[in-house]
Amino acid sequence: MLDLSRERRRMVDVHLGRRGIRDREILAAMREVPREAFVDPGYEEFAYEDGPLPIAEGQTISQPYIVAFMLEMAQIRPGDQVLEVGTGSGYAAAVMSRVVDHVYTIERHAALAEVARRRFQNLGYGNIEVRTGDGTRGWPEAAPFDAIVVAASGPGAPLALQQQLDVGGRLVIPVGDDPDEQRLLKVTRTGASTYSEEDFGGVRFVPLIGEQGWREESRPRIARTIPLARPHSLPEMIAAAAEPLLDFDDPGFAEAFDRFADRRVVLLGEASHGTSEFYRARAAITRRLIERHGFTIVAVEADWPDAAAIDRYVRGRGASPGAARPFQRFPTWMWRNTDAAAFVEWLREHNDRVKAFQPQAGFYGLDIYNMRGSIAAVLDYLDRVDPEAARVARERYGCLTPWQTEPSTYARAALTKGYRECEEAVLEQCRDMLARQLDHAGQDGEDLFDAAQNARLIASAERYYRTMYYGGSQSWNLRDTHMFETLEHILDARGPNAKAAVWAHNSHIGDARYTEMGISREEVNIGQLCRQRFGDAAALIGFGTHAGTVAAATDWDGEMEIKSVRPSREDSYERLCHDAGIDRFLLDLGRDPKLRDRLTERRLERFIGVIYRPETELHSHYADASLARQFDAFVWFDETSAVTPLGPGHAAEGVPETYPFGV
Ligand code: SAM
């Protein structure tokens, strides 16, 4: 027999515990009863997924969460006498038998009743009695009951069952004539002839067939005979669709993302540039994509030359002689933080382990801000391989020299001076480098690719800074188009089957056509361009949070501060996720069409960058978006914390000295 005890524990902790089942006795019972013994042969490995499974007679074994939820509603206690209507596989009865004194269970299909009886015997569960018959009439000889649980939905609560409750006894039953949706009802007997009723929301069950249920021929047509929770409010719908996530270090955390592993590009967002959970989640997912699914590219929202230094480190290529220390420019904490450092360290170890038998994974920057670093890198490369070409390049880049340290002032100057010359010079240099790449195909591989990419970057950056002067969408579009094209170049360079994990802010990776950016400002972004280029081979995964702390500055170039993130606004997507009541989850937006429809309606979404201004949060950080169109999936961490920066005064414990960020 398979040993599934670990999976069982995980099911209880994640699917039940984190979704709000609190009753210790029920949780302990579900930790004890082997659900795999109640599924049909061949289904054992699925026994601990939180879903219903088919059994004989066209029936189902209920979803574990629903079983736990109903038993919690029924408030079963040690010492109780309990009746169940709808034995099915026998699983729910077995769970109850671990809590209460005695369980009576009735099943209308003799074959199911018989199999269940044998299961109880094999497991040595001696306090369960099974009967074949119509459960809507109850089990009068054994009444009164402390609790009655009905696992099929009827037109109402059968009178016979209500009368067989002890005073104080609880009857839990799904009722309603809509085959798609019924209400979960709890009837409590408050006196000899008095009852109170509570409604616990929408559910979907197979029909209760019997004298006080549906008649066989008049039973409502069931679209799907699956007892599935079908809640009403949007947060409830989110909670039902949410897949709770484990801790980052548990392999099960990243396993949840395996569904995206066949994509060419998996884009992983973040709702701020200074939140630890977003880094750790992306690191865990990316580790799995690399180790298990053949991804060899990690492309991040960082400057190319800086990431190139990390790439050399993780691939054991030694530092480039003239290169400056990476990530010295504002905002340093975006990459000089302990979470990024830990991931880089893992990447190095992984590459070292696999280098003899499989391609190493590379670390690449998509962004354009470090023009100075790129110029230095091009010159450094040419100095080594072709001093004459280096001399020409130096001359061409000379026109940018005055602006290298403060390129944002270039725009104003470019208006008055003959900037066209400069533009022409950097383009010419770029063309030269690309021609060199063609001529030297196969030689000098990584170094030449790096230098050519730097030349491309300089050309993009020159235009970027020039257009910045005019404001508007042009410079944003230039930057994101450059980032997207860089991704394409990296994919090309790594071969036809290369697959990439991209880490960038939600504003870059959520499809811009479905946010204010695209709708009102005509801005494009990497996510949109990836969808247009790769179609379904791109997965766009957004991240979000309700509250906590974040590392951010108040102004551009300002000091990093640890700021409190205000609880999300009531009219935001974030608040819907918060109200779903699950700490951390994955919401696959492609799974439930009704939920997808609801999450397509436009709402506010929060965007925190390197700057956070809580005082003007609405205007500074919220924008209109259509979540379900913007992303393929959304990852939620209800409370998050700021990253821990590396650097003077920020000793990073456990970070090796060899690490290129080391200070
Ligand atoms: N509790 C079960 C488990 O854990 O596997 C799942 C039960 S399944 C969702 C519902 C069961 O109710 C079916 O096996 C169906 O045959 C049975 N059922 C429907 N009407 C019934 C009735 N009037 N009396 C007894 N069983 C009935």
pLDDT exceeds 70 at position 427: yes
What is the DSSP-derived secondary structure letter of residue 512? G
Distance, in Å, from the CA atom of 229 to the CA atom of 236, rounded to the nearest integer, reads 10
Q: Give pLDDT, residue 41.
A: 85
Q: Give pLDDT, residue 663.
A: 31
Tokens of 576: 């819907």
Place of tokens 């500074």: 620
Helix (H, G, I), strand (E, B) or coil at 526: helix
Rounded to the nearest angstrom, the distance between the alpha carbon of 70 and the centre of ligand 1 is: 14
Binning pLDDT at 50, 70 and 90, where does residue 550 land? very high
Using CA atoms, how far residue 127 sits from 61, 97, 221, 566, in Å, is 21, 6, 36, 53
pLDDT exceeds 70 at position 420: no
Specify the amino acid at residue 299: A
Distance, in Å, from the CA atom of 190 to the CA atom of 198, rounded to the nearest integer, reads 13
Measure CA of the first residue to CA of the last residue in the chain; give whole Å: 54
Mean pLDDT (whole number) for 440-447? 71
Binning pLDDT at 50, 70 and 90, where does residue 422 land? confident
Q: Give pLDDT, residue 443.
A: 66
pLDDT in tens, 212-221: 888 875 554 4
Tokens of 334: 């975006």
Q: Give pLDDT, residue 218.
A: 56
pLDDT exceeds 70 at position 224: no
Tokens of 341: 């450092």
pLDDT in tens, 106-134: 999 999 999 999 999 999 999 999 999 99
Distance, in Å, from the CA atom of 259 to the CA atom of 256, rounded to the nearest integer, reads 7
Rounded to the nearest angstrom, the distance between the alpha carbon of 193 and the centre of ligand 1 is: 28
244 touches ligand 1 (CB under 6 Å): no
Rounded to the nearest angstrom, the distance between the alpha carbon of 403 and the centre of ligand 1 is: 76
Contact (Cβ atoms closer than 8 angstroms) between residue 53 and residue 616: no
Which of 184, 152, 182, 162 has its CA nearest to residue 70? 184
Helix (H, G, I), strand (E, B) or coil at 297: strand
Rounded to the nearest angstrom, the distance between the alpha carbon of 152 and the centre of ligand 1 is: 6
pLDDT exceeds 80 at position 418: no
Using CA atoms, how far residue 576 sits from 65, 618, 639, in Å, is 21, 17, 14
Please give the model's pTM, rounded to 2 decimal places: 0.64
284 touches ligand 1 (CB under 6 Å): no
210 CA closest ligand 1 atom index: 23
pLDDT exceeds 70 at position 462: yes
Contact (Cβ atoms closer than 8 angstroms) between residue 468 and residue 411: yes
Indicate which residues carry an active-site annotation.
62
CB atoms within 10 A of CB 344: 22
Specify the amino acid at residue 330: F
Strand-pair partners of 60: 54
DSSP string, 44-70: GGGTTSSS-EE-GGG-EEPPHHHHHHH
Mean pLDDT (whole number) for 531-545? 97
Tokens of 534: 């790769």
338 touches ligand 1 (CB under 6 Å): no
Q: Give pLDDT, residue 654.
A: 41
95 CA closest ligand 1 atom index: 4
Mean pLDDT (whole number) for 426-438? 85
Helix (H, G, I), strand (E, B) or coil at 163: helix
Contact (Cβ atoms closer than 8 angstroms) between residue 340 and residue 282: no
91 touches ligand 1 (CB under 6 Å): yes
Tokens of 2: 């398979």
108, 119, 218: residue to mutate for ligand 1 pocket, most atoms within 8 A of CB: 108
Using CA atoms, how far residue 653 sits from 2, 328, 338, in Å, is 41, 20, 9
Binning pLDDT at 50, 70 and 90, where does residue 50 land? confident
pLDDT in tens, 271-292: 999 999 999 999 999 999 999 9
Specify the amino acid at residue 235: P
Helix (H, G, I), strand (E, B) or coil at 587: strand
SS (H, E, C) 604-653: EEECCCCECCHHHHHHHHEEEECHHHHCCEEEEEEEECECCECECCECCC
Distance of CA 316 to the CA centre of its chain: 31
Distance, in Å, from the CA atom of 138 to the CA atom of 14, rounded to the nearest integer, reads 35
64 touches ligand 1 (CB under 6 Å): no
Q: Give pLDDT, residue 232.
A: 65
Rounded to the nearest angstrom, the distance between the alpha carbon of 542 and the centre of ligand 1 is: 40
206, 212, 214, 228: residue to mutate for ligand 1 pocket, most atoms within 8 A of CB: 206
Distance, in Å, from the CA atom of 564 to the CA atom of 510, rounded to the nearest integer, reads 25
Distance, in Å, from the CA atom of 107 to the CA atom of 184, rounded to the nearest integer, reads 20
Q: Phi-psi bin for 20: left (phi > 0), alpha (psi -120 to 50), beta?
A: left
Beta strands in 269-396 (DSSP E): 297-303, 362-367
Torsion of CA 512, 518, 523, 527, to 10 degrees: 10
Beta strands in 512-579 (DSSP E): 538-552, 561-565
Q: Give pLDDT, residue 655.
A: 39
Q: Which residues, other chains included, contact 406 with Cβ-Cβ below 8 Å and sequence gap of 6+?
A: none
Distance, in Å, from the CA atom of 540 to the CA atom of 555, rounded to the nearest integer, reads 29
Which of 525, 376, 351 has its CA nearest to residue 457? 376
70 touches ligand 1 (CB under 6 Å): no
Strand-pair partners of 147: 82, 170
71 touches ligand 1 (CB under 6 Å): no
441 or 302, which is more confident = 302
85, 125, 203: residue to mutate for ligand 1 pocket, most atoms within 8 A of CB: 85
658 or 405, which is more confident = 405
Tokens of 343: 């991931």
Rounded to the nearest angstrom, the distance between the alpha carbon of 42 and the centre of ligand 1 is: 22
CB atoms within 10 A of CB 43: 16
pLDDT in tens, 471-523: 668 888 999 999 999 999 999 999 999 999 999 999 999 999 999 888 887 89
213 touches ligand 1 (CB under 6 Å): yes
Comparing 227-231, 267-271, 410-414, 481-485, which segment has the lowest mean pLDDT?
227-231
Indicate which residue's Cα is closest to atom 19 of ligand 1.
Answer: 208
pLDDT exceeds 60 at position 29: yes
158 touches ligand 1 (CB under 6 Å): no
CB atoms within 10 A of CB 436: 20
Q: Give pLDDT, residue 438.
A: 75
Specify the pairing of strand 603-606 against strand 195-204. Answer: unpaired
Specify the pairing of strand 145-150 against strand 81-85. Answer: parallel
Percent of the chain at pLDDT exceeding 90: 59
pLDDT in tens, 152-161: 999 999 999 9
135 CA closest ligand 1 atom index: 24
Rounded to the nearest angstrom, the distance between the alpha carbon of 112 and the centre of ligand 1 is: 9
Indicate which residue's Cα is closest to atom 20 of ligand 1.
Answer: 208
Rounded to the nearest angstrom, the distance between the alpha carbon of 86 and the centre of ligand 1 is: 3
CB atoms within 10 A of CB 124: 6
Which of 412, 321, 331 has its CA nearest to residue 370? 331
Q: Give pLDDT, residue 408.
A: 67
Rounded to the nearest angstrom, the distance between the alpha carbon of 132 and the centre of ligand 1 is: 11
Upstream peptide bond of 387 is cis (omega within 30 degrees of 0) = no
61 CA closest ligand 1 atom index: 5
Indicate which residue's Cα is closest to atom 2 of ligand 1.
Answer: 88
82, 87, 105: residue to mutate for ligand 1 pocket, most atoms within 8 A of CB: 87
429 touches ligand 1 (CB under 6 Å): no
209 CA closest ligand 1 atom index: 20
Comparing 175-189, 326-340, 640-654, which segment has the lowest mean pLDDT?
640-654
Contact (Cβ atoms closer than 8 angstroms) between residue 14 and residue 244: yes
Q: Give pLDDT, residue 275.
A: 97
The chain-wide mean pLDDT, for the chain, equals 88
pLDDT exceeds 80 at position 223: no
Distance, in Å, from the CA atom of 474 to the CA atom of 487, rounded to the nearest integer, reads 20
416 or 133, which is more confident = 133
**Length of the chain (residues):** 663
Q: Give pLDDT, residue 414.
A: 67
CB atoms within 10 A of CB 83: 28
pLDDT in tens, 357-412: 889 999 999 998 888 888 888 898 999 889 999 998 888 888 777 776 677 666 66
pLDDT in tens, 310-348: 999 999 988 776 677 888 888 999 999 999 999 999 999
Q: Give pLDDT, residue 658.
A: 42
CB atoms within 10 A of CB 617: 16
33 touches ligand 1 (CB under 6 Å): no
pLDDT exceeds 70 at position 599: yes
Mean pLDDT (whole number) for 572-589? 95
Contact (Cβ atoms closer than 8 angstroms) between residue 368 and residue 303: yes
Binning pLDDT at 50, 70 and 90, where does residue 648 land? low
